[in-house]
Amino acid sequence: MRTGIWLIGARGSVAVTSIVGAAALRARLVAPTGCVTELPQLRGPALPGWSELVFGGHDIVTTPVLKKADALAAAGVLPGRLVVALADELAAVEQELRPLPAGDTQAATARRISADLRGFRDRNALDRVVVVNVSTTEPAAAPHPAHAGLAELTAALAGPAPVLPPSALAAYAAFTAGCSFIDFTPSTGARLPALAELARARAVPYAGNDGKTGETLVKSVLAPMFALRNLRVRSWSGLNLLGGGDGANLADPAANAAKVSSKQRVLGDALGYQPEGTSRIDYVAEIGDFKTAWDLITFEGFLGTGMRMEFSWHGCDSALAAPLVLDLARLTAAAHRAGRSGPLAELGFFFKDPLGDGPSALAEQWATLAAFTAGLAS
């Protein structure tokens, strides 16, 4: 199944790491470490192979993919040998990247985005196209009456005033073009009733939100542990330090608040209550594409004895995120081919703030994902 992966934010760190990684896997230059779809429980013929993936995308910046890959190699995110070995492949991807269109109205902009998606599909003889939002985090969207229904939204988009944030407009354009959509960010994306209606009408699936790559991944394992041991968590606070473009964007208070909100959901879901504390995100330019998280947990044991736990997480954000982007694209394309449409709640394993009301514990999410993937092959 020839599958297009259209990246919103295609010249950013996560996108370029995904592109380089897929090319390296196709050339068998690296092992699929970090790609859960290569584990025996998920690997199968229903998923598109590495050789069947074709990349394109939109971005508002113009940095060439090869130059960005060189910068990531210099920062220790990518092996420099891969950038050299895959220069021709990266040059080919460059030909499929486009500036983000803009029209006089959001309806006109959406038509141009959809036209780019259809052109990409036709040029490359693709069976499916999956649009993946890996752009910077948006502030939470302001409510609008047109978000409630597709007819109202269609009418409002033709007017002069913006109705949808960029991530939601991308989802609208993707659905209109018959493409599935994944939001790897905590932005609004497809999480509006009008867009859910459009996805049903076009029979396309979508997934999100906010890829689970670091601190929240650990939370989704530890919080169920406390619950299963019947230990009462009194407080859980975390400090996240990150650099790079994502960190710079999260220096904006509104974007920061949207990100923090998605990070906290797992505790309430897993514990059944919300302990005291919060997550804090600080931008530290010096650490570049790497991130550090430090969490302090206080909890109560037998006879009311107070105890504490601390953990630190040091990771490379792009290297953690990129394999999940590839996994999600492969799974969503397979789900689309299998006739699935609407929200793919079974992909909650990958997200901090998943769609639907599925389990929040990582082990339960894994079991759900494995069953879902097995069903795609039947």
**pLDDT of 253:** 67
Same domain, 182 and 253: no
pLDDT-wise least confident of 42-56, 161-175, 240-254: 240-254
The winner for highest mean pLDDT among 17-26, 210-219, 233-242 is 17-26
pLDDT tens column, 23-69: 999 999 999 999 999 999 999 999 999 999 999 999 999 999 999 99
Report whether pLDDT(248) > 90: no
Share of the chain above pLDDT 90, in %: 84
Same domain, 136 and 85: yes
Report whether pLDDT(259) > 90: no
Compute the distance between CA of residue 284 and CA of residue 241 in angstroms, rounded to an integer. Answer: 6
Give one DSSP letter per residue of 239-272, joined into a string.
EEEE-HHHHHHTTSHHHHHHHHHHHHHHHHHHHS
Report whether pLDDT(154) > 90: yes
Same domain, 310 and 237: yes
Q: Which of 301, 316, 331 is the last residue of a domain?
A: 316
- What is the rounded average pLDDT of the residues 340-369? 94
**pLDDT of 69:** 97
Same domain, 76 and 131: yes
**pLDDT of 261:** 66
For residue 199, give the H/E element and its range: helix 193-202
Same domain, 300 and 352: no
Q: Which two tokens stand for residue 112?
A: 């141009």
What is the length of the chain? 378
Q: Which two tokens stand for residue 142?
A: 């302001």
Mean pLDDT for all residues in the chain: 93
Same domain, 201 and 328: yes
**How would you class 87 by CB atoms within 10 Å of its CB: exposed for 0-12, middle for 13-18, buried for 19 or more?**
middle
Q: Which two tokens stand for residue 277?
A: 């504390």
pLDDT tens column, 193-231: 999 999 999 999 999 999 999 889 999 999 999 999 999
Q: How confident is the model at residue 252 (pLDDT cuts 50, 70, 90)?
A: low
Which residues, at least 6 apart from 352, have a Cβ–Cβ distance to it below 8 Å? 186, 209, 210, 211, 212, 216, 262, 263, 265, 266
Compute the distance between CA of residue 290 and CA of residue 276 in angstroms, rounded to an integer. Answer: 28
**pLDDT of 260:** 65
Same domain, 229 and 271: yes
This prediction's pTM? 0.93
Same domain, 325 and 365: yes
Q: Is 166:141 a contact under the CB 8 Å cutoff?
A: no
Q: CA end-to-end span of the chain, whole Å?
A: 16
Same domain, 36 and 96: yes
Q: How confident is the model at residue 258 (pLDDT cuts 50, 70, 90)?
A: low
Nearest to 144 by CA among 173, 164, 166, 118: 164
Report whether pLDDT(286) > 90: no
Same domain, 285 and 361: no
- The values of phi and psi at residue 235, to 5°, are -150, 155
Report whether pLDDT(268) > 80: yes
Share of the chain above pLDDT 70, in %: 94
- What is the rounded average pLDDT of the residues 15-21? 98
pLDDT-wise least confident of 78-92, 183-197, 254-268, 344-358: 254-268
Q: Which of 281, 316, 351 is the last residue of a domain?
A: 316
Report whether pLDDT(311) > 80: yes
Give me the CATH number covering residue 10: 3.40.50.720
**pLDDT of 265:** 77
**pLDDT of 303:** 96
Q: How confident is the model at residue 257 (pLDDT cuts 50, 70, 90)?
A: low
User: What angle separates helix 362-376 from helix 215-228, to the nearest 10 degrees?
Assistant: 110
Same domain, 19 and 67: yes
